[in-house]
Structure formats: structure tokens, C-alpha cells
Chains A and B, each alone.
Chain A
Amino acid sequence: QVTLKESGPGILQPSHTLSLTCSFSGFSLSTYGMGVSWIRQPSGKGLEWLASIWWNGNTYNNPSLKSRLTVSKDTSNNQAFLKVTSVDTADTATYYCAHTRAGGAHYFDYWGQGVMVTVSS
């Protein structure tokens, strides 16, 4: 059974760096074809894909956020991480991590419950 759970600071100030952790079970990010993606959703709005990290260490970021995103993983502890630098109020959203697979199956079949992040001074 695949499960994922996000954790993060809840609230942070503008210009700071947002650090999120996705703790998962039921799969390994060292297994061929496995991936974890990050998606966010401002309250009452749509979904935005942010980044993905794959079993082989490859990462892909949404260019709309330019170079503000960094994704990484700790395979031994079944965790993936997202860092967003220089946050502002537009980064206020619920952030989700989700399981995905390689080979054309780049949809999100399991999602975490989400963590709400507020950027405010």
C-alpha cells in the first residue's frame, strides 16, 4: 500500500526558503521507474505541477518558477524534499507530494494529504 505524507513549516516570511519533506511507504525511490512529484494548489484555485524526482536521481522543475526549486531524495529513509527559495505571498498554497511512474505513466496515482503553507510577514 502506497502512502505519502508531507510536512513543513506551516508559515514563513517573505524572502525565506521553504523546505518541505515527503515521507512515503509502499515503494522505494531506488526502484526502477519510481518517482515523486510535487504539486501545489492555492486555496480555491487550480493545481500546478512543480517538480519531479526519479529513481535514477534525475529531476525536472517547472520553468515558471525559474531556478527557485530544488528537489532531492533520501532513499534510505524513504523521503523526498522540496526547497523553494525567495518565497512571497504568491507561494501560499497547499503543497502535495504524489507518487508517479516513468515510461509514459507520468500521472499521479497516489497523493499525500497535503500541507498548507502560508507566506506572511
Chain B
Amino acid sequence: DIQMTQSPASLSASLGETVTIECLASEDIYSNLAWYQQKPGKSPQLLIYDASSLQDGVPSRFSGSESGTQYSLEINSLQSEDAATYFCQQHHDYPYTFGAGTKLELK
């Protein structure tokens, strides 16, 4: 199975700041990486797919990038509604696997 190592497990940031969340794949996943946002009591919502493509309706302050097997989600100009848990997921091969999640808190 492809392992997705996500970091950090949690972070705290202030409104207007920029934060970066990372996922390291255990092997090449050829940009087949998605990011999801999940708020308490809600189902996950797709933010980014194919490492850097923004899902329709997602604010442009969210962006994705890659460097080798390291994938990053950047959130610019943090808003209060960005407080959530974020997960990465490789969609390259079965079994699809997720990172453990990053809980983002707003100060």
C-alpha cells in the first residue's frame, strides 16, 4: 500500500496568515493527490485534485503544489471559516490511502 505521511498533525495560526500542510508519499504517485477539508460533524469536501487543480467553488486562497513525492497545501490569507481538519489522499492506485489529517485552529 502507498503510505501518506502528513504533517503537521496540528497547527495554530492567525487570521490573514499563510499556512502550509504537507504530505509525503511512500512512492511516486504521479501527481494523483487530492486535498479535503472537513469541519466537525460534516463530511469531507474536495479542495484540490491532481495535486494542484482547484475544485469548482473553492476559494483561490487554497493552492496545491508538489516536489517529487512531497505534496503541499497552502492556504493564504486565513479566514475564520478555514478552521478545520485537512486530509490528503493518493488517487493513483488501490487501495486509496489518506494522510492522518492536520487540524488547523485559528488563534
Contact = CB atoms under 8 A, between A and B. Distances in A.
Interface of A: 37, 46-49, 60, 62-64, 96, 104-109, 111-114
28 contacts: A37-B96, A46-B99, A46-B101, A47-B89, A47-B101, A48-B98, A49-B95, A49-B96, A49-B97, A49-B98, A60-B95, A62-B94, A64-B95, A96-B43, A104-B32, A104-B91, A105-B49, A106-B32, A106-B96, A107-B34, A107-B46, A107-B91, A108-B44, A108-B46, A108-B89, A109-B49, A111-B45, A112-B43
Secondary structure at the B interface, as helix, strand, loop or mixed, is: loop
B87 A47 contact: yes
Given A46-B98, A47-B98, A49-B98, A109 B87 contact: no
A48 B34 CA distance: 14
A85 to B, nearest CB: 18
Interface of B: 1, 32, 34, 36, 43-46, 49-50, 55, 87, 89, 91-92, 94-101
Contacts, number: 55
A111 B43 contact: yes
A78 B3 CA distance: 33
B25 to A, nearest CB: 15
Contacts of A107: 34, 46, 49, 89, 91
A60 B91 CA distance: 13
Contacts of A106: 32, 91-92, 96
Contacts of A108: 34, 36, 44, 46, 89
A53 to B, nearest CB: 13
Contacts of B34: 107-108
B100 A111 contact: no
Nearest to A60: B94
A109 B55 contact: yes
Nearest to B32: A104
